[in-house]
Each structure stands twice: as C-alpha cells, then as structure tokens.
Amino acid sequence: MRISRTIKRLWNAVASLLLSSVCLFVSFLAFKNAYLDLSKLDVVSGQVVDTGVMVSSITTSKGRIDSQIYFVKIAGVNQILAVYYPSQNYHSLQHAIQVGDSISVYYQNTIDTQKPNLSTYQINKGARIILDQAEYRNKERNAGYMASLGALMIAGLGVWQDRKYWKHPKKSVYIKS
C-alpha cells in the first residue's frame, strides 16, 4: 500500500509541530522554575536528623540510570530534601551540614513523599548560604536553553524533510553555438 504525498507531508508537519510544541512547553517550565522568587517557595527551618549521599534511580526506556544525590532530612518534614550535581561531588555540602545543625531550606513541596525532592532551591545555615539559588537557576536555565534548541532543531528537521516534496523547476540545458 502506497501512502500519498499529501498524507506524508501532513504527517511530517503535524509531528514536527507537536514535538516542537512539547519542547517549547518544557522550555517555558524550565525558565519559569529558574526565576521563582524565594518568598513564593516553601521554607522549613529545623534540625538536621540525617544527611548524606544516596543513590537515586531513574527508569527510562533503555533501563535504569543510577546517580548519586545529596540528601537532608529535617525534623518534622515528611520529605527527603535533595540536591543533584552533575559532577556528583558533594564534599562541600557534607562538610557544611552535619546532623544536629539548624538549617533553613527553600524548596517546592511535592506530593510524592517517598522519592527525594530535588526541587531544593537554597539552604541557609544561620546567616550563611550553603546552597545558593543561583546554582539551581543555572541548571534550570540550561535545561530551558536545551529544550528551546531542541524545538528549533525539530522544526528545522520538519522543514528539511518537507523539502523533498517541493516542486523544483527543471534546469534547462543551453547549448552554445
């Protein structure tokens, strides 16, 4: 069975528009998260009950991806607050935050209390900032830029795929006499 050229072009256009739209939506969410004001976030102050590095698993279509995250458990909070660094080097956080310390954490509350909450924006210990919001902003901003670039690439690939269906004028051959 042969699919008509019109159906192929329509499928290419719809698929590239849909995927580009998804990438732009993800980009919008990333930029929105990058510029949240600390006063609009949840904040908890309390004593550290447990802290350390743990393995967090993400299941994808190709299997599981295990990575290390730094976590903090605070008395009276039903969530594990966590931070992820791509380098997975958490020595500065491990030395700055000890069990029994009194800290303040700015985070976005999540429904799932079983998984670590990686939406931790800032950690303060007294007047000292242990984890700066700028680090979270940079990660979210980079994700937004990558998603925007992905949207442009998908839209460009859609146009490139459609080019093969465009009518090209036949080149004339002129013979010099």
Element (H, E) at 47: strand 42-60
CATH number of the domain that residue 130 is part of: 2.40.50
> Is pTM, for the whole model, over 0.85?
no
For the stretch 159-170, pLDDT in tens is 888 887 777 666
Return the top range by mean pLDDT from 21-25, 76-80, 87-91: 21-25
Number of structural domains, the chain? 1
Q: How many residues does the chain have?
A: 177
CB-CB contact of 77 with 113 (8 Å)? no
- Is 172 domain-assigned? no
- Is 148 domain-assigned? no
CB-CB contact of 70 with 82 (8 Å)? yes
Check residue 168 and give its pLDDT. Answer: 65
For the stretch 133-150, pLDDT in tens is 888 888 889 999 999 999
Q: Radius of gyration of the chain from Cα atoms?
A: 25
**Residue-averaged pLDDT of the chain:** 87
pLDDT value at 89 more than 80:
yes
- Is 155 domain-assigned? no
Q: Which range marks the domain in which residue 123 is found? A: 38-139
CA distances from 165 to 12, 18, 154, 155, 161 (A): 11, 20, 18, 16, 8
SS3 123: strand
For the stretch 105-121, pLDDT in tens is 999 888 888 888 888 88
Of residues 176 and 24, more confidence is placed in 24
- Is 51 domain-assigned? yes
- Is 174 domain-assigned? no
- Is 71 domain-assigned? yes
Query: Looking at this protein, which amino acid is placed at residue 56?
Result: S
- Is 161 domain-assigned? no
Stretch among 2-11, 28-37, 65-74 having the lowest mean pLDDT: 2-11
Rounded Cα–Cα distance for residues 174 and 97 (Å): 80
- Is 109 domain-assigned? yes
